[in-house]
Amino acid sequence: MTILYSLVARGTVVLAEFSATQTNAGAIARQILEKIPGVNDSHVSYSQDRYVFHVTRTDGITVLCVADDTAGRRIPFAFLEEIHGRFVKAYGRACHTALAYAMNEEFSRVLSQQMEYYSNDPNADRINRIRGEMSQVRNVMIENIDKVLERGDRLEMLVDKTEHMQGNTIRFRKQARRFRSSVWCRNVKLMVILILLLLVIIYVVLAFVCHGVTLPSCISE
pLDDT tens-place string over residues 133-177: 444 444 455 566 666 665 545 555 556 555 555 555 566 566 667
Cα dihedral 1→58→156→69 (10° resolution): 40
Q: How many domains does the chain have?
A: 2
Q: pLDDT, tens digit, for every residue of 77-127?
A: 999 999 999 999 999 989 889 999 999 999 999 999 999 999 887 776 665
- Does one domain contain both 135 and 182? no
Residue 39: exposure state from Cβ atoms within 10 A (0-12, 13-18, ≥19):
exposed
Q: What pTM did the predictor assign?
A: 0.60
Domain CATH number, residue 113:
3.30.450.50
- Which of 159, 186, 211 corresponds to the end of one domain? 159
Give the burial string for 87-108 (b: 16+ CB within 10 Å, else e). Answer: bbeebeeebeeeeeebbbeebb
104 lies in the same domain as 207: no
CA torsion, ordered 157, 162, 168, 171, to nearest 10 deg: -130
Residue range of the domain that includes 7: 3-159
**Is residue 167 in some structural domain?**
no
pLDDT value of position 66: 94
Burial of 86 from C-beta contacts in 10 A (0-12 / 13-18 / 19+): middle
Give the whole-angstrom CA distance, residue 202 versus residue 106: 65
Same domain, 185 and 131: no
